[in-house]
Structures are given as structure tokens and as C-alpha cells.
Amino acid sequence: MYHKGYVVIGIVVFLALLAMPYWVNAGMPKYEDIHKELAPPRGTVCIYSKEWMAKYHMELLKEWRDLAVRDGVRKYVTPNGVFNVSLTECWRCHNYEGFCAKCHGFMDVRPVCWDCHYNPSMKLPTVNYLK
């Protein structure tokens, strides 16, 4: 076989590149670690279980959007109670900076919700109309 040394080096380089994502993420914090750092909710009962909300909260918000905007429904019934179909229902228990932003930052997700909607921790721009 010709260039046997080059073939072996190529295989080693290929395997090193294949394993690179594991090496890069070896020192990074894990989701479980960040999840423990999130600000605890102020309320006593959530819409669904903590595990369910961690996985499916975006689907719930999309469902609420459709219910409120398209169907005019403003109440949402779950086994845990009756909730308002509104983001203010979330703000009753959760702090945006200590909860939402921290997790979304870790996951490198930028929700487009805040392009239009307000959250309590946002700094509103001050406009001087007397100029």
C-alpha cells in the first residue's frame, strides 16, 4: 500500500475532528447546572409540572397566542387550575432576568416575543417630546 503513513495520519485527524464536539463541551456547564441556578418561582402552583414546562413552554405560548388572538379565549384550564391566557400570568411567578433570560442565554436562543411584547424587566426608552 502506498503512502501508508499518510493514511494513518488522515484517519487519526479524522477521528480527532469527529470527537472535537465532545472535547469542546467537556468543560462547559450542563443544562442541569444552569437549571439549578434559575431564580425560584414566587408562586405555589404552575400551569403544568416543572418538567413539562421546561420542555413544552414554547408550544404552550404558541397555543395561548392562537387562543387569545384568533379565538378570543382568555381562560386556560389545566389540572392545576384556571389561568389567564397572557404573558402576565408568567410574570406573576417568574422573573425575566433571573429565569427566562438566564436559560435562553445558556441555550443560545433569542425568542422573538420581545420584539413586540413587553416584559417587566425591560428598560423602556424615555422619549422627550418637548424638543
Residue 1 lies in a domain: no
User: What are 58-87's pLDDT values in tens digits?
Assistant: 999 999 999 999 999 999 999 999 999 988
DSSP output for 69-84: III---EEEETTEEEE
Average pLDDT in the 100-118 region?
81
Q: How many structural domains are present in the chain?
A: 1
Question: What percent of the chain is modeled with pLDDT above 90?
Answer: 34
The Cα 31–Cα 14 span in angstroms is 29
Dihedral class, residue 81 (left if φ above 0, else alpha if ψ from -120 to 50, else beta): left
Nearest to 46 by CA among 68, 76, 72, 69: 76
Other CB atoms closer than 10 Å to residue 43's CB: what's the count? 12
- The residue behind cell 469527529 is 18
In a domain? residue 3 = no
DSSP state of 118: -
The pLDDT of residue 83 is 93
Chain-wide mean pLDDT for the chain? 83
Distance (Å, whole) CA 84 – CA 64: 9
Question: Is position 2 within any domain?
Answer: no
- Would 43 be classed as within a structural domain? yes
Distance of CA 52 to the CA centre of its chain: 13
Q: Which residue has the higher pLDDT, 108 or 84?
A: 84
Q: What is the pLDDT of residue 12?
A: 93
Q: Is 49 left (phi over 0), alpha (psi -120 to 50) or beta?
A: beta
Q: Report the distance separating Cα 30 and Cα 100, nearest Å.
A: 17
- Residue 58 covered by a domain: yes
Where residue 99 falls among pLDDT bands split at 50, 70, 90?
confident
pLDDT tier at 131 (50, 70, 90 boundaries)? low
Query: Is 121 inside a domain boundary?
Result: no
Is 37 a domain residue?
yes
Does residue 104 fall inside a structural domain?
yes
Q: Which domain holds residue 76?
A: 28-115
Question: How do residues 19-46 score in pLDDT, each as one tens digit?
Answer: 988 888 777 777 667 777 788 888 888 8
